[in-house]
Amino acid sequence: MGSMTSSENDAAPEGAAPQPELSWLRASAEDIATVDFEAPISGATTADCAELSDLYRAAVRPQDNSAEPPDTPEVRVFIMLSAITDMYPKPQERNEPFGPMVTFADGRRSAIPSDFRAHIPLVGDMATRAANPVLRARLSDLCWLLDKKQGGLGLAAIAAYTEIVQKMDDGELKHRFASENGALQHGARDYLLRALQIGRAVGWEKPEMLTARDLVGQLRRKALQKGGLVPIYWFSDLDLDYRISDPAEIGASLRKALAAVPFGSDVHNVVNLWQLAATAYHLAKMEDEKHLCLSEAAEALVAEAEAKNGSAMLAAHFMSAAIAQLHGIPGKKDKRTAYATG
């Protein structure tokens, strides 16, 4: 692994080992211009960026496992791309959507976005030429994240994220740890979340953004058709959070799905969907429907509490959660008191 520059050493924890130049910053513009930078990932069908990192890392590993790979343009470029694709995605943190995959106690770490600030032109050049949508999304997003003036690369990132999810839905790409094909996966949801975050900044009505928004609605409806409670939650929550579809329609669709929930379904998933339906109706200014959904969430928790007759602690936990669901709902004071007194 490479290490921090002198400026990074100044900010490193006291006692951290001093380190030379980061190994993933050694590629030059000439290297990138002359190397087929997608050769190690040619034919890859993964939707997982970290798996691309593994392929780049394997491409620079000496055959005899000797200490260091040779210092060639290919090695320098592949090490850079392995580091970029290895960054840990955190789409729930829109201002810091990527972090180090690993951090050591002595201050050493793997790559983070700010490492590449001085290399935006090089990374941007690869982003505009990359054919693999997973690589293109990461490179484009990185450039836009570091320089918000790169609006074109922001739009390219949105288009690439959308392409990845579409290819997942068509079965052309698959996440390494996905249990089944298709785009009703957490990874697909995260890619669309990141696309929507960028779209809020670069143009909500741009064609790339309209395609991404439409895909969110498509996958929400597909999840509802298939009936899996967790994918229904992922894509309904995403749709609702970004106000893509009519919240009243989302609330109604969730109620319909919950009416068909199989007996014995996980109570946490059921309650989460009732709460999400309540949020949808709140946004639609339909307070009676909102209260109905919260009441249904409470009833599901009461049923779970009654089923825990072998554990007073668990029963009390679920009953307390049920009482909390009823707070603020008109006409439920007596029911809250009854639940509290057993």
Higher pLDDT among residues 289 and 1, named by residue:
289
Q: How far is CA 291 from the centre of its chain?
A: 31
Interatomic CA distance for residues 172 and 168, integer angstroms:
6
pTM assigned to the model: 0.89
With H, G, I as helix, E, B as strand and everything else as coil, classify residue 88.
strand
Q: By C-alpha distance, which of 186, 205, 219, 202 is closest to 91? A: 186
Q: Is the pLDDT of residue 15 over 60?
A: no
pLDDT band at 189 (very low <50, low <70, confident <90, very high): very high
- For 132-156, the pLDDT digits (tens) are 999 999 999 999 999 999 999 999 9
pLDDT band at 342 (very low <50, low <70, confident <90, very high): low
Interatomic CA distance for residues 238 and 231, integer angstroms:
11
pLDDT of residue 225: 96
Interatomic CA distance for residues 91 and 143, integer angstroms:
16
Interatomic CA distance for residues 270 and 295, integer angstroms:
13
**Least reliable range by pLDDT among 15-19, 157-161, 251-255, 290-294:** 15-19
Q: Could you write out the DSSP letters of every residue in 232-256?
A: HHHHHHHHHHTT-S-HHHHHHHHHH
- For 162-184, the pLDDT digits (tens) are 999 999 999 999 988 877 779 99
- Residue pair 164/84 in contact (Cβ under 8 Å)? The answer is no
Q: By C-alpha distance, which of 329, 331, 274 is closest to 301? A: 274
Q: Is the pLDDT of residue 232 over 50?
A: yes
Q: Is the pLDDT of residue 76 over 70?
A: yes
pLDDT band at 111 (very low <50, low <70, confident <90, very high): very high
Q: How far is CA 29 from the centre of its chain?
A: 31
Task: Name 125's Cβ contacts closer than 8 Å, sequence gap at least 6.
Answer: 29, 32, 33
pLDDT of residue 203: 95
The CA–CA distances, whole Å, from 216 to 211, 236, 274 equal: 9, 9, 20
pLDDT of residue 334: 66
**C-alpha atoms less than 13 angstroms from C-alpha of 312 in its C-beta half-sphere:** 1
Kindly give the interhelix angle for 333-341 and 312-326, rounded to the nearest 10 degrees: 170
Q: What is the mean pLDDT of the chain?
A: 90
What share of the chain in percent tops pLDDT 90? 74
Q: Is the pLDDT of residue 6 over 50?
A: no
